[in-house]
Structure 1
């Protein structure tokens, strides 16, 4: 077996065991109406720790960008990091201790998983749900592994975005606690500036109802289906799309994109729309449209989805997709709560297992 096959075997084994335990906890939630979150949190920590070492100690053949990150770590003095200074200084600090790139990959993996764990912990301080089932939802979605072994800077950045959102939900008046994670997130990946701007827009325009965001979502989806895209903005795209220097050609002209297919992606549009329907049902049927934090996250999902649809005509548009998908576990969290009179946890766990299996088959076909 080659290194990638060995990695996949280990990853699928970890997932299979995690799925079994998640199913057991789902039964406790649905049948006994208990979260057992102390045990749940410990079990999640064990699984996340195992995944940290799996991702961090991966072979260079695992992950299309792993070789690039090795090169970036060893030649950081010759690399333009733009505004992604926190990532640069992380590399510099690492060089004080070691020149071994493997420790660097391990450190980045620790940031990715531990910050997600931290964000779940903070999120549950303002929303009652099962810790392990939310953690299981994260590793079930198809982009989780890609953020851990390929686009790792964006993975860490989005983890800090989740932390920022969680702290906002906990105490929106304590500005420092949620703005600081956003700054750190941008320091790892410059495109996160877009997320911050959208989040600030939602906060400032609180009077805008969900109807506005549904119209936004449907309108941009239709424009994208008819061939419209962010490219219509012309030279302004160079500033809106990428903030650090030297990246415009990479995204707009597709330099280095290889065989990446651009154009309207019906599979992504359908994926987001299916989840939007689920989230809408949760908001109106379960939460009775009364949870302001949930509505804010739903607004963000629709707002960033619209941006994502407009990116279909440029290479690597899926890297904008993960900005929408990363919120899925939090938006599904109400289904893992003992407060529900109906039993949603078990079917939701089975749904996430289906997603994991389906996309692993789809991506390998």
Structure 2
């Protein structure tokens, strides 16, 4: 583990220095250099994918399980997560070595994130490398890459779906297909699709109501309320595939996972909410409809997250909100941003990375 972490920290450190340099160009030279930025980000992503893919079984609590699933997939029922099984079958065409399956998953993970950023920038002008750096700086990026890898690929596909929606929301296939594939990797992503469609259908509803939703559910959670109050409905909301409900509701396999109100997660989500609100009102003047839709999603899924504190693995619901953070801070990396906050944002992201690595050590 120490060798793995050392390699990861070295890659991140070089990435951070590069991001700082590009942030200076954005802030002072007002240059994006996105062709170079895209190439350099691709190099870093490939290095990270190879590091994740060739990790040992001791890296990531579920790594051994995924290798076992690869070897014995024919005898396993993946339920609605059939696309994950198809990927296993596809890799078996080329090799029976489980290590290369992990490499394939890791490459898909970073590929879909890279692809989503590329499409996203067609709607939001910003620096490619700095958005990519934002992903790597946040603590969930590593967890999605070496532990909950099915959810990692699934959420990367969600990012791709959202990016295509922003590019052309009338082309339903372009954003609905990635969503469907994402559900085929991790069934809980169906909740994101349902929530996203609801937000789109009621897009004219004021952003203020979403703030009310956020703080209302936060208050209920703080008083001990949770999704458990909805009884059997939980089976469908949580996992769609009811076979996995015991895993989440009863905590089978949860070990020493602590349930209950988590002030640290509330603080994390709320700090970023304040940042996003300032971006929306101060930088974008509350005029960018796509950004407001993304903010509505963040507020909505965060509220759902707060209601999950009383069940095991609630942080996996938090990731559904956190994964949008890089897109929501993207306006800070734009040459149209006259406040020159690119460098400060990079330094803040480095602080977040260092803080959570110390906190989780």
TM surpasses 0.5: yes
Pick from 244, 266, 270 the counterpart of residue 267 of structure 2: 270
Q: Which residue of 2 aligns with 1:229?
A: 226
Q: Which residue of 1 aligns with 2:61?
A: 64
Asked if the contact 2:126–2:331 (Cα under 8 Å) also holds between the matched residues in 1, the reply is yes
Q: Which residue of 1 aligns with 2:206?
A: 209
Q: Which residue of 1 aligns with 2:348?
A: 351
SS of residue paired to 1:128: coil
Q: Which residue of 1 aligns with 2:166?
A: 169
Q: CA RMSD in A?
A: 0.6
Q: Deviations over 1:109-133 (max 9, x none)?
A: 0110011000000000111000000
Q: Deviations over 1:130-160 (max 9, x none)?
A: 0000000000000000000000000000000
Counterparts in 2 of 1:30-69, with a 5 A limit? Answer: 30-69=27-66
Structure 2: gaps (5+ residues): none
- Between the aligned partners of 1:17 and 1:28, the Cα distance in structure 2 is 17
- Between the aligned partners of 2:209 and 2:76, the Cα distance in structure 1 is 42
Q: Deviations over 1:235-289 (max 9, x none)?
A: 1111221122421111111111110000000000010000000000000000000
Pick from 141, 153, 160 the counterpart of residue 138 of structure 2: 141
Asked if the contact 1:22–1:349 (Cα under 8 Å) also holds between the matched residues in 2, the reply is yes
- Between the aligned partners of 2:199 and 2:233, the Cα distance in structure 1 is 23
- Between the aligned partners of 2:218 and 2:79, the Cα distance in structure 1 is 32
Q: Which residue of 1 aligns with 2:151?
A: 154
- Between the aligned partners of 2:93 and 2:334, the Cα distance in structure 1 is 45
Asked if the contact 1:26–1:336 (Cα under 8 Å) also holds between the matched residues in 2, the reply is yes
- Between the aligned partners of 2:48 and 2:238, the Cα distance in structure 1 is 32
Q: Which residue of 2 aligns with 1:115?
A: 112
Q: Which residue of 1 aligns with 2:129?
A: 132
Asked if the contact 2:126–2:334 (Cα under 8 Å) also holds between the matched residues in 1, the reply is yes
Asked if the contact 1:73–1:91 (Cα under 8 Å) also holds between the matched residues in 2, the reply is yes
Question: What number of residue pairs does the alignment pair up?
Answer: 361
Q: Deviations over 1:49-101 (max 9, x none)?
A: 10110001111110001001001111112222110011011111111211100
- TM-score relative to the length of structure 2: 0.99
Q: Which residue of 2 aligns with 1:27?
A: 24
Moved over 3 A (4+): none
Q: Deviations over 1:150-195 (max 9, x none)?
A: 0000000000000000000000001110001001100100000000
Asked if the contact 1:81–1:244 (Cα under 8 Å) also holds between the matched residues in 2, the reply is no
- Between the aligned partners of 1:148 and 1:266, the Cα distance in structure 2 is 26
Asked if the contact 2:248–2:312 (Cα under 8 Å) also holds between the matched residues in 1, the reply is yes
SS of residue paired to 1:261: coil
The Cα of 1:342 is off from its aligned counterpart by 1.2
The answer as to 2:298 corresponding to 1:306 is: no
- Between the aligned partners of 2:284 and 2:52, the Cα distance in structure 1 is 37
SS of residue paired to 2:232: helix
The Cα of 1:29 is off from its aligned counterpart by 0.4
Pick from 12, 15, 31 the counterpart of residue 12 of structure 2: 15
Q: Which residue of 1 aligns with 2:196?
A: 199
